[in-house]
Structure 1
């Protein structure tokens, strides 16, 4: 798989480090119980289709990227610098 870095251009996936899904999870209260913490730490939807992910270009410019990737086909839909994401 190749990722198009907005700064460096298209590069091999091995230059990047996958940081996880780009979603905000609501952290349970410290006393929420074992089931709430298990769900928070381990359970994800894992649905086919597009997923927003965070990647860092560790072996390149060091930029953090928001990558929209189809998790079934690995097709890259879009890549932007994470600092450009508007909340």
Structure 2
């Protein structure tokens, strides 16, 4: 079982969380100006590296807050946890 450190509540079992996808994906400034291809790329195309990735997680059965995690997708090891709005750590991730 994966143990995730909530930056607000401390370490909790992964069953208390919901995965929110890749972190730091910027919303387009003018979505109506995008082509169908560009809109589809924004909605569906994400990095899928073997290694470190910055992800969003929600502590859905705890404090209900969102935060970011730097996790190794090959080993599931969590390298860092940081709150939304904070600067991402220098180690890891592709965005």
TM-score interval for Structure 1 and Structure 2 normalised by the shorter chain: 0.7 to 0.9
- What's the offset of the Cα at 1:74? 0.9
CA-to-aligned-CA distance 1:30-82 (integer Å, 9 cap, x gap): 24322212212222231211111111111112232211101111110011222
Cα RMSD (Å) of the superposition? Answer: 2.1
Unaligned runs of 5+ in 2: 89-95
Q: Is the 8 A contact 1:63 1:81 kept in 2?
A: no
Query: How far is the alpha carbon of 1:29 from its aligned partner?
Result: 4.1
Gaps of 5+ in 1: none
Q: In the superposition, relative to structure 1, how do residues 36 and 79 fare at CA in structure 2: closer, same or farther (>3 Å)? A: same
Q: SS at the partner of 2:67?
A: strand
Shift of 1:2: 1.2
Q: Name the structure 1 match of 2:91.
A: none
Q: Name the TM-score, length of structure 2 as normaliser.
A: 0.74
- Stretches of 4+ moved more than 6 A in 1? none
Measured in 1, the distance between the counterparts of 2:34 and 2:84 equals 31
Bigger Rg, which one = 1
Question: How many residues are treated as equivalent by the alignment?
Answer: 86
Q: How far is the alpha carbon of 1:23 from its aligned partner?
A: 1.6
Whole-Å separation in 2 of the counterparts to 1:79 and 1:29: 30
Structure 1 length as normaliser, TM-score?
0.79
Matched, 1:14 2:15: yes
